[in-house]
């Protein structure tokens, strides 16, 4: 069983886990992802929609857009 860091930069890291059960590695991945702060669009007010999409579809797609924010 070993853990090696393959690549590390300011905003990402690649780690290789050898000999560990997949369920344990997935638990570590889920815990790491849950600790990353995130922001999302919560409320959308559409005044005039001239597209062919319903307002709800436009609002939902806006909520899926990742927002980059400064660290800290």
pLDDT value at position 72?
62
Do residues 5 and 28 share a domain? yes
Do residues 32 and 42 share a domain? no
CA dihedral 27, 72, 16, 33 (to 10 degrees): 30
Do residues 51 and 67 share a domain? yes
Cβ-Cβ contacts under 8 Å for 65 (sequence gap 6 or more): 41
State the residue range of the domain holding 13.
Answer: 1-36
Per-residue pLDDT at 56 exceeds 90: yes
Tens-digit pLDDT profile for residues 15-53:
999 999 999 999 999 998 888 877 888 899 999 999 999
At residue 6, the 3 state secondary structure works out as strand
Do residues 44 and 30 share a domain? no
Do residues 15 and 5 share a domain? yes
pLDDT value at position 37?
79
Report which of residues 46 and 10 the model is more confident about. Answer: 46
pTM listed for this prediction = 0.55
Do residues 11 and 32 share a domain? yes
pLDDT value at position 70?
75
Structural domain count, the chain: 2
């Amino acid at each position: 069983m070993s853990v090696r860091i393959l690549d590390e930069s300011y905003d990402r890291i690649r780690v290789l886990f050898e000999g560990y059960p997949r369920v344990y590695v997935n638990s570590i991945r889920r815990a790491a992802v849950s600790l990353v702060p995130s922001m999302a669009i919560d409320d959308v007010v559409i005044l005039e929609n001239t597209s062919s999409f319903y307002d709800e579809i436009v609002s939902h797609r806006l909520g899926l857009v990742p927002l980059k924010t400064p660290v800290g």
